[in-house]
Structure 1
């Protein structure tokens, strides 16, 4: 455990500990590059990956675009890695930009970080996704792990294109 976990490092951008910031940037890059097995290895056993229609309501009381625990996340990754997920043939080309980071909560075991994102997807046409990510990062003896990722889409209440990849 580093001192950065005990208090915000004033030298770190936006007060986000440098190791947590590097971890989140790596998570985004692995998703963009379809390195799904490496991306999956970042997750904690108590994982929740949630893309809600309404982020103000609890995840288990509403329709969600994605609400995956660790087992379901593993199944989704396995499907994407077969090459037979036809919603991703050809695979989307993606690049996301993360900004406006802020630590929303922090203690010795967990760091919660929120940031805005814009994701450019190209697959037989261009789609722009935008919203806010809310992450819960677990500090484990073997390194950082993603405990929870909430994807609050700007247009979640309206019709959205098919989510054939990990957003």
Structure 2
């Protein structure tokens, strides 16, 4: 199995293998451009935040989630089995849940597009988690592709990838 995990960073989002059927595309249900290509969607935020009138995703988001053929949420993600496979329960973003599941399900190749995780916002603390999972995957012999524009697994200084 080849899995392309696709986030929203504009630097490499469009580089994902959208029209290559040899890759199963996994991503986020709020990705308006990638929505129709995704075989699986990951929405790991607390359901109370999604149902709230203050949801960042908009008033029709709950309805959109009902249209996802394969949607992983906090209610149906195989937490215990995945934690056993990766050695611990270490994930902190919808993207890292996707990465951990790809490892768990035995992907032989994983490509990561639209995922930079640089900056000082929530992505900055999520970066270490993804890099751990990337290292774990590579240590298990999984071929992990990261575009050179991505800050993942690279030293960054003041928002510049070195």
Q: TM-score, normalised by structure 1?
A: 0.24
In terms of fraction of residues, the more strand-rich structure is 1
Q: TM-score, normalised by structure 2?
A: 0.24
In terms of fraction of residues, the more helix-rich structure is 2
Structure possessing the higher relative contact order (Cα contacts under 8 Å, 6 or more residues apart): 2
